[in-house]
Every structure is written in C-alpha cells, then in structure tokens.
Amino acid sequence: MSESRTPQWEHLPQSVSVDRREVSEEESRRANGPEWDRYADEYQATHGEFLGDIGFVWGPEGLTEQEAGALGELRGRRVLEVGSGAGQCSRWVRQQGGTGIGIDLSMRQLQHARRIDLETGTPVPSVLGTATQLPFRDASFDVVFSSFGALQFVADLDAAVEETARVLRPGGRFAFSITHPTRWSFPDDPGPEGLTASQSYWDRTPYVETDPQTGIVTYVEHHRTLGDWVRLLAATGFRLVDLLEPEWPEGHERVWGGWSRTRGSLTPGTALFVTDLAP
C-alpha cells in the first residue's frame, strides 16, 4: 500500500492499493455503495452516539444545525437529505416540524436507519439511490441538504448539483458540508504529520483505493477547490449565502479519522456551504 494518503472519509483500512487517478461516475458508484455497506456497522457503532439518534451535526467538529441555522425555518417544509446514512439529521428535521426524507447509496446504512426509526418511533422515509439521479419530481422540496453525504463521493458533481436544483422549488435552500478542500493538501493524519502540506491543492485527480487481488476499485473520493464549488453553484443557479468553516471547540477532544484538536485548532476540516436557488 502506498504511503501517500489524501484526505478521505475514515473507513476500512484493509489491504488496498492507494492511487490518484481518473475514475468515472459509474466506477465511483460501483465502488462506494458496497464500501459503505461493509463500513456501515463500524461507522454506526463508532459514531452513532456522537451523531445522536435524533441529532444533526454538520461534521466532526460537532457544529449542530441548532447552532448553525443553515437550513432556515423547517416547520412545514419538505426536506430532502442526500447521503442520509442512518437518518439522524432527518429525524431531527422531523422533530422540528419538517417533512424530512432521505436517500442513500448504501442498503446497510438504510438498514441502520430503519433500526433507529423503530427504536425512536421517529421514522424517516428513505430510498436507495444516488445523488446524481434523484428519483423525485421537479420542484418537490423546499430544502435539500447533505452532511458529509454523497457530494465528495460522486465523479459527476455537475449532475448531482443539477439534480438538486431540479428537485428544489425556486428560491429553495441547498446546504451541504464536505471535507474542507484545503485539507487535500495534507496527509490524512490527525497528528502532527497531518500538518505539513505535501500535495497540490489544485490537483483534482481523485483518490482511489483498489483491491490488489482483483484490480477492482473499492473506494473513491473526489476533490474540488473552493473556486470549483463557487463556480459550479453559480452556474447552476445557486446564490452563495454563507460559507461556514467550524472552529474546533473548547473541550472537544474527539478524534475522527483525520479530524482532531491538533489539526482543527490550526486549519479548517469542514466547509459548510449555504446557498439559495434563484427564485
């Protein structure tokens, strides 16, 4: 396995070859669905308590939607969560009076959603699908959001953002958190090793893991610069309302993948974009 690891969502450190190379949307999807199926049990066991069964955090810094207010008023709103995982955020949306529903690529993540639905008595209707082909009618949501779900895992980001614009009503809100793009310059290490820039911020070549036995791609992550995001959102009809870069809070000692106090007190780990579709 190569030593060169770009920032990626923490997941199985199995025996894989790590590479930076171009991958198609189909290959990204074929890799990431099964990968999240394999990782889901560990993800929920490790992070479920931090996420809260009915809880909405935007990332490892622990910024909550209650604090951020990125989605605006939720009461009576039709709300779609893309990359909804076990539905914790959408359950919180429902508790606020919104009609939260989810879509995720991983059946195992959705099985966890169903388990928590039954445990909490707050079900989130969820469908299996991909951010790049949303199975919903035009203008059927007031709000679309994604908390570290889907957007950094798709190759065809234009399609994902266009699909979001299609299913949102005019003037609707789209907010999403991703790994802060500047993190792609650094090794994915929560300790001091993760503080020295070693890769070009402008290198958009995807991060790819491959099973050395079969040659099958097992995990993919995609990088866009801040400018890429702003340009794409503007070209698709979105107006940037805010860009939140949560600071590492006092007393927060949790390490999550490459996120830690060591790095978080010096560089941003999460970017939270808040946008509105043109009226």
Ligand X SMILES: C[S@@+](CC[C@H](N)C(=O)[O-])C[C@H]1O[C@@H](n2cnc3c(N)ncnc32)[C@H](O)[C@@H]1O
Question: Helix H segments across 63-106?
Answer: 65-68, 88-95
d(C-alpha 200, C-alpha 127), whole Å: 37
Strand spans (E) along 148-221? 168-179, 207-210, 217-221
Q: Does 100 bind ligand X (CB under 6 A)?
A: no
**Which of 5, 6, 7, 9 is the binder for ligand X (CB under 6 A)?**
9
> 3-class DSSP state for residue 44?
helix
Least separation in angstroms between residue 91's CB and ligand X is 11
Least separation in angstroms between residue 10's CB and ligand X is 9
Q: Does 109 bind ligand X (CB under 6 A)?
A: yes
Closest CA to 207 of 216, 197, 217, 193: 217
Site string for ligand X, 191-230 (x = CB under 6 A): ----------------------------------------
d(C-alpha 142, C-alpha 276), whole Å: 10
Residue with tokens 């399609």: 159
How many chain residues interact with ligand X (CB under 6 A)? 23
DSSP β-bridge partners for residue 57: 64
Q: Does 32 bind ligand X (CB under 6 A)?
A: yes
Site string for ligand X, 132-161 (x = CB under 6 A): ---------------xxxx--xx-------
Q: Does 92 bind ligand X (CB under 6 A)?
A: no
CA 106 distance to own-chain centroid: 13
Give the footprint of ligand X on this chain (CB under 6 A): 9, 29, 32, 36, 51, 82-85, 89, 103-106, 109, 130-131, 147-150, 153-154
